[in-house]
Structure 1
Amino acid sequence: MKYRRLSADRDYVMGRGNADLLTDTPETVAQAVATRLRLLAGEWFLDLQEGTPYAPAVLGRHTAVSYDLAVRERILGTSGVRAIAAYESTLDPESRRLTVAVTVDTIYGPAAIQEVL
């Protein structure tokens, strides 16, 4: 499994050859999970069905039941993820931000991910 490394501001890192790539590590899978969680459903022009269904499942009133399910399914559908070892989420109604802290068992070992979506 190979992914281009992202900088702290979530931009591609380039100019250092293979050092710019994540290859066959838990960090590779963690970045894949984070990237998939950030992709909104309908946002990718090549596949409008791809993405996290934030509009119907996460945002809005009374979504506590559906947002964890939607996020967990998205994580488990990521290549390299075997299982979710730990999961915690908090939805702030004021800012409408969902914070997810998850530890996944990957094909390369455990990986911790924390995202504010």
Structure 2
Amino acid sequence: MRYRREDSDGDYTFGRGDDTWLVNTPECVAQAVKTRFELWRGQWFLNVTEGTPYIQSVLGKQRSDVYILAVRERIQTTPGVSKIISFNTNNDGTTRRVTFTATIDTIYGETTVTSEA
């Protein structure tokens, strides 16, 4: 498995030789999960069924069990993920943000992924 490394601003890195890539590491799988979260369902013209169902299941007045299931499924179906060890959500009513934190077991080891919607 190979993913381009991102810098602290979330931009792809270039010109660092082999250090430009994440290869066969837990961080590589975490990058795959993060990338899959960034694609919203219905946004990719080649496959409108692919993506995280933010509009359909997460945002708005959705029940927490619905969006938790949708996000967990998105993580679990990411290549390289063996299982979800722990999964937590934090719904902040003031900022209207939901934060997802998952500790996952990958084919390369354990890592933690955090995303916000």
Per-residue Cα deviation, 1:79-109 (whole angstroms, up to 9, x for no partner): 0000000100112233332201110000000
Who is 2:43 aligned against? 43
In 1, the alpha carbon distance for the partners of 2:69 and 2:58 equals: 9
The whole-number CA distance in structure 1 between the counterparts of 2:37 and 2:83 is 16
Superposition TM-score, scaled by structure 2 size: 0.93
- Contact 1:33-1:75 at 8 Å conserved across structures: yes
Partner of 1:68 in structure 2? Answer: 68
User: Could you tell me how far 1:39 is from its partner in structure 2?
Assistant: 1.4
**Considering only aligned residues, what root-mean-square deviation do their CA atoms show, in Å?**
1.2
What is the number of residues matched between the two proteins?
Answer: 117
Aligned-residue identity in percent = 48
| One-letter amino acid matched to 2:91 | L
Q: Which residue of 2 aligns with 1:106?
A: 106
Alpha-carbon distance in 2 for matches of 1:47, 1:10:
25
TM (norm. structure 1) is: 0.93
Structure 2 spans left out of the alignment, 5+ residues: none
CA distance in 1, matches of 2:90, 2:13: 30
5+ long unaligned stretches in structure 1 = none
Deviates more, 1:99-108 or 1:61-70: 61-70
2:52 maps to 1:52: yes
Q: Quick check: 1:59–1:96 contact (8 Å CA) kept in 2? A: no
Distance 1:46 1:18 in 2: 31
Tell me the CA shift for residue 9 of structure 1: 1.4
Query: Residues 15-73 of structure 1: CA distance to partner in whole angstroms, max 9, x if unpaired?
Result: 11221000000000011111111211112232221100011201111421200000000
With 70-79 and 14-23 compared, the bigger mean Cα shift is at 14-23
